[in-house]
């Protein structure tokens, strides 16, 4: 919950560039899917730039 809250606070002021370092660590697979599907698509839809660093492999073939 703390990771989700931190992300929402970071997104609240709608930055043009968002740097996310290991945003998926500590999240279960369902929460990871929700993050990728919801948050990342919302950011990209608004034509903002995201630098995403993770050691987890996330498949996009859904």
Q: How many residues does the chain have?
A: 62
Phi first, then psi: give them for residue 54, nearest 5 degrees.
Answer: -155, 150
- Residue 62: pLDDT band with limits 50, 70, 90: low
The predicted structure's pLDDT at residue 51: 85
Q: What confidence category does residue 61 fall into, taking pLDDT thresholds of 50, 70 and 90?
A: low
Domain range annotation of the chain: 2-53
DSSP 3-state of 6: helix
Distance between CA 26 and CA 61 in Å, rounded? 23
Residue 11 — pLDDT band, cuts 50, 70, 90? confident
- Report pTM: 0.61
Q: Can you give the pLDDT at residue 58?
A: 57
Average pLDDT over residues 12-30: 83
Beta-carbon-side half-sphere exposure of residue 42 (alpha carbons within 13 Å)? 12
> In whole angstroms, what separates CA 40 from the centre of its chain?
5
């Amino acid at each position: 919950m703390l990771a989700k809250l931190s992300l929402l606070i970071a997104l609240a002021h709608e930055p043009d560039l968002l740097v996310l370092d290991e945003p998926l660590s500590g999240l279960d697979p369902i929460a990871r899917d929700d993050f990728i599907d919801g948050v990342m698509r919302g950011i990209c839809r608004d034509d903002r730039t995201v630098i995403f660093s993770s050691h987890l492999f996330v498949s996009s073939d859904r």
